[in-house]
Amino acid sequence: MSQHDLVIKGGTIVDGTGSEPFVGDVAIEGGRIAAVGSDVGAGRREIDAKGHLVTPGWVDIHTHYDAQATWDPFLSPSSEHGVTTVVMGNCGVGFAPVREELRNELIELMEAVEDIPGSAMHAGIEWDWETFPEFMDALERRSHAIDYGLQVPHCALRAYVMGQRGIDNETATPEDIAQMREIVREAVAAGALGFSTSRTEMHNTLEGLPVPGTMAERDELFGIGAALGEVGTGVFQASVTHREAPNEILWMKDLAKQTGRMVTFNLQQIDEHPDLYKEDLRLLDEARKEGITNLRGQFSGRPVGVLMGWETSVHPFLGHPDYQKLARLSIDERRRELRKPEVRALLVAGGEVRTEGLPANAPIPPAFLQFLVGCTEKMFPMGDGNEYEPDPSDSIAGRAKATGRTPAELIYDAMMDQDARGLLYFPLFGYANGNFEAILETLRHPQTGLSLSDGGAHCGAICDAGTPTYMLMHWVRDRSRGERLPLEFVVQRQTRDTAHQYGMFDRGVLAPGLKGDVNVIDFENLGLTAPEMRHDFPANGRRLYQGAKGYRATIVSGQVIFENGEATGLLPGRLIRGEQSGA
């Protein structure tokens, strides 16, 4: 019997189909799975997986590596978390198509919407494209460790076709719509995985104005969406204002029915209307009864968590006039000042968080910014841990009540933890009731998809790219404040389900003929490192980073890209062009 390229031997196989785990071997040959079973033969290389889980590689369908992919071959930290495929170009922001004179506009949009340092993008992006197919070709010329797919972003498309009129959100003419439709048709025919748009009030320019496409009318959305139907492939992804989601679902359902293509949107619980997500789920149930199964809500496996510290984009002392003087200092100088007792006394005087001095021109709406820094009931010191389902009594408000100390004192001291690198965790969406029950209900719904890790984005405020790792360690192994979930269900949700939602039928399941993307996981020791601020982007750009531990090996197309947490240097990742057929 000839030897396989790679055999993973004796592991507990969780194959991605939702079937019960079983002990066996996985053989890979020519980048594809050759056999799965009790004895598949020998391999030129073998990995002993006894006592470990063997799963498909994670498929993360909501990331923003559009800029980072031009300078980082690993698309970190996603690849460190066992992700072997990402989809980028979400939320309507991206870098193609683009005219040379509008490159800066697209960088500023990405900086405003996704909080990626503009200086890093200016320094790191080497522009060698104009059209979307040229952008795909440009990325394909660069080497990557994992596979990636692209979507056509509405902001860039509008700017390219309409110029300043598109940026200013003027109504698109029939000629504009026809041209946008043709560009999307061309891009999808060349392999783009879909089209994305932003309709949420949360996404604004650096000047605080709605991003291009936010107020696009029905004829524009349906005109562009028709391109997907014409080609017969591609996903229509929309980021919507949560409280408007029930109204948005109505037109999205019509679009899904007319085009026959997958239409997907963000679906999460919000504090102002804690039960509104139930209405979204009910409308999805209605759509399914009508035979419209290609409409899906995207949810996150843990709350979208804003992190606050002295170096992050937002924190509770940001509006304090005495802090604003310190903000002009370098971070090292600032930390030295903040360690002084007299500075602490000045900033915590009065005991409450001050919000009157917050910047009025911030891309985040002022009222929302005030909510973030002033709601101590949802503000939790992280310390050196990773508790994302904390008890409300552990909040700043809860601790203030229990100890008699003031919120400002507790916040200051929490941020001074870890050598003045301490972080506060603010569960933004999905935690209105102080637990994960809304996420659990959404997770179980047949027309939702695990998403919204936002890998590559929100570098100064959010660090959720480790969600794929968290899904196993929390939902399957560690959860103490509610029901845990079966391992096979959680694996299926972020392998087969996410892959199939974007037409990637060649991956997400460990079965002969499918792609050899595999994780070998030391489940007992699987974990997350504490979030930290790094300065490893071009131009010393900052980003919050959370690593992983417990991945014995991550394999892409049969090649081991990470082994025991260390990159091997192999870069087998490829651009995914269009729908991929199964075995």
- pLDDT tens per residue, range 223-243: 999 999 999 999 999 999 999
**pLDDT at 362 exceeding the cut of 70:** no
> Please, what is the average pLDDT of the chain?
95
Q: What is the mean pLDDT of residues 267-275?
A: 96
Residues 83 and 227 in one domain: yes
pLDDT tens across 169-220, in order? 999 999 999 999 999 999 999 999 999 999 999 898 988 899 999 999 999 9
Residues 474 and 325 in one domain: no
Residues 153 and 167 in one domain: yes
Residue 364 pLDDT level (bands cut at 50, 70, 90): low
Residues 331 and 247 in one domain: no
- Are residues 110 and 121 in contact, defined by beta-carbon separation less than 8 angstroms? yes
The pLDDT, as a whole number, for residue 30 is 97
The pLDDT, as a whole number, for residue 363 is 53
Residues 315 and 298 in one domain: no
The amino acid that residue 437 corresponds to is E
Domain end point (choices 512, 528, 544): 528
Strand partners, 508: none
The pLDDT, as a whole number, for residue 39 is 86
Q: Where are the beta strands (DSSP E) in 347-401?
A: 380-381
Residue 485 forms part of a structural domain: yes
Residue 505 forms part of a structural domain: yes
- Are residues 93 and 363 in contact, defined by beta-carbon separation less than 8 angstroms? no
Residues 297 and 360 in one domain: no
The pLDDT, as a whole number, for residue 352 is 77
- 118 is in which domain, residue-wise? 58-303+431-528
Domain end point (choices 396, 429, 462): 429
The pLDDT, as a whole number, for residue 207 is 87
The pLDDT, as a whole number, for residue 360 is 58
- Are residues 408 and 416 in contact, defined by beta-carbon separation less than 8 angstroms? no
Residues 408 and 518 in one domain: no
Residues 254 and 386 in one domain: no
Residues 293 and 381 in one domain: no
Residue 91 forms part of a structural domain: yes
Residue 560 forms part of a structural domain: no
DSSP 475: I
Residue 575 forms part of a structural domain: no
CA distance 536 to 539: 8
pLDDT tens across 488-533, in order? 999 999 999 999 999 999 999 999 999 999 999 999 999 999 999 9
pTM: 0.96
Residues 209 and 323 in one domain: no
**pLDDT at 415 exceeding the cut of 80:** yes
The pLDDT, as a whole number, for residue 359 is 63
- Cβ contacts of 131 within 8 Å, gap of 6 or more: 96, 97, 183, 186, 187
Residues 291 and 318 in one domain: no
Number of domains in the chain: 2
Residue 25 forms part of a structural domain: no
Residues 357 and 231 in one domain: no
List % helix, strand, coil for the chain (3-state, nearest 5): 35, 20, 40
Residues above pLDDT 90, as percent of the chain? 91
**pLDDT at 355 exceeding the cut of 80:** no
**pLDDT at 276 exceeding the cut of 90:** yes
The pLDDT, as a whole number, for residue 373 is 83
pLDDT tens across 285-323, in order? 999 999 999 999 999 999 999 999 999 998 999 888 899
DSSP 298: E
- 413 backbone dihedrals φ, ψ, rounded to 5°: -70, -35
Residues above pLDDT 70, as percent of the chain? 98
The pLDDT, as a whole number, for residue 62 is 98
HSE-up of residue 309 (Cα within 13 Å, Cβ side): 30
**pLDDT at 485 exceeding the cut of 60:** yes
Residue 8 forms part of a structural domain: no
Domain end point (choices 483, 507, 528): 528
**pLDDT at 354 exceeding the cut of 80:** no
Residue 224 forms part of a structural domain: yes
Q: Which of 29, 27, 32 is nearest to 515 (CA)?
A: 32
Q: Collapsing DSSP states into helix, strand and coil, what is residue 299?
A: strand
The pLDDT, as a whole number, for residue 125 is 98
Where residue 149 sits, what CATH number does that domain have?
Answer: 3.20.20.140
**pLDDT at 1 exceeding the cut of 80:** no
